[in-house]
Amino acid sequence: MSLVMASSANTTATTTGLLNPPSSSSEEAKKEINNNGALIFEPGLLQKQPKMPDEFVWPSSDLARTQHEELNEPLVDLSGFMRGDEAAIEGAAELVKVACVKHGLFQVTNHGIDPDLIRAAYDEADFIFKLPLERKLGAKRKPGSACGYSGAHADRYTSKLPWKEIFSFQYHHKNDGHQSEIVDYFKSVLGEQLETTGRVYQKYCEAIKELSFIIMELLAISLGMDRFYYRNFFEDGSSLMRCNYYPPCHSSSLTLGTGPHTDPISLTILHQDQVGGLEVLSEGKWLAVRPRPDAFVVNIGDTFMSLSNGRYKSCMHRALVHTEKKRRSLVYFVSPRDDKIVRPPENLIEREEGRKYPDFKWCDLFNFTQKHYRADVATLESFILWLRSNSHQY
């Protein structure tokens, strides 16, 4: 992190290692470095502090120790799906079903994504996070938006800060006439120099979108529905791609890289590097998800839980940080078009004892998590209470 320290020479370090605004510079530069008054995450300095700043210390309930046990999630081999082998597809759908009913997470292998593309996506993430602090803050997330740079979510919160930096951007599944959406975004917020980075992620998102559609087909089959039902539902949707960078942390037992939460979106497709740290709550125990270079982790989010009328569980997970090693993950969050009504298909309602959740629009849940509520272990329940109290019924 020395790059960041060098670039922030005109900032003043507090005893906590969170940076105060610079004392003398132009108003514009001040605003940029000052993060609009929010504290700035600078892990290089934090590592030199004798004590972990309170902002990063999580309550013991969230820090409940891992069981030193791995989650026994299924490894779903997609090669049968790729060659159209119906028996193999049925077998894969059965594995998906068991995992989604139990805890909402499985891994997929033989997914067809080029390992060189995955490697390139990690290399570009390293490049982004090594940029000077001013450049990253110049691309910081705007209020109400999920896109851009954020250090420890310090722009939004003042406690239970996650020990990580993130960079996120949007990708529309139907990008008619705008096939360089991500390239253009990178160039606009980080400069022309980032064109190659944008191209790598454009390719990465296009490939993962195809994978997400395959998984949507498997999910539909596993729920006994028309195979293309969810694929069609998400065809004109969008995804958010997030690169997570977790610096090493001496006080790793006091903090978290990502706190316990379920994802508000529909489906998450994640690749983690070999350091490990992703954990899932299963039957009351935090269990590690083993990193596999050849696999993607897939988990159900709140919106898909609603679309399955509560049959499939939104996966409760968190990420630990390592004492000596940096950790990275590449996360692709799938969502329907903003104005789509989230409602389970009729045949899932008929077979069930009524509706588990009311209809809602995805954009309302998204805005709820951006403006009113910090995604945690109870996002969907809280959203539904809010929806009802605000008479947003569809």
Ligand X SMILES: O=C(O)CCC(=O)C(=O)O
Residue 33 vs 319, nearer CB to ligand X = 319
- How far CA 124 is from CA of 5, 194, 202, 227, 293, in Å, comes to 21, 9, 12, 36, 17
Structure tokens at 74: 């299924």
Which of 35, 238, 255, 272 binds ligand X (CB under 6 A)? It is 272
Q: Closer to ligand X by CB, 165 or 217: give it.
A: 165
Of 276-295, binders to ligand X (CB under 6 A) are 278
Contact string 189-228 vs ligand X (x = CB under 6 A): ----------------------------------------
Q: How many residues bind ligand X (CB under 6 A)?
A: 10
Residue 128, amino acid: I
**Are 166 and 246 within 8 A, CB to CB?**
no
Query: Shortest CA distance to 264 belongs to which of 107, 378, 387?
Result: 378
Q: Which is nearer to ligand X, 11 or 303 (CB)?
A: 303
Pair 302, 379: CB distance under 8 Å: yes
Nearer to ligand X by Cβ, of 281 and 331: the residue is 331
Smallest distance, Å, CB 285 to ligand X? 18
Q: Can you tell me the distance from the alpha carbon of 229 to that of 349, in angstroms, rounded to the nearest whole number? A: 15
Should residue 150 be labelled a site residue for ligand X when binding is judged by CB under 6 A?
Answer: no
Q: At what angle do helices 195-222 and 86-102 cross, to 10 degrees?
A: 90
**Selected range binding ligand X among 193-201, 217-225, 270-278, 300-308, rule: CB under 6 A:** 270-278
Using CB under 6 A as the binding rule, whether residue 244 contacts ligand X is answered as yes
Query: What is the H or E stretch that residue 138 is in?
Result: helix 133-138
Of these, 78, 137, 305, 331, which contacts ligand X (CB under 6 A)?
A: 331
Torsion of CA 368, 370, 371, 377, to 10 degrees: 60
- The residue from 135, 141, 327, 328 that is catalytic is 327
**Closer CB to ligand X, 93 or 319, in the complex:** 319
Using CB atoms within 10 Å of the CB of residue 172, give its burial: 0 to 12 exposed, 13 to 18 middle, 19+ buried.
middle
Give CA torsion, residues 8, 12, 15, 17, to 10 deg: -20
Q: Does 242 bind ligand X (CB under 6 A)?
A: yes
Nearest distance from residue 261's CB to ligand X, in Å?
A: 7
Per rule CB under 6 A, is residue 317 in the interface with ligand X? yes
**Catalytic: 327?**
yes
- Interface residues with ligand X (CB under 6 A)? 242, 244, 258, 270, 272, 278, 317, 319, 329, 331
Give the active site residues.
327
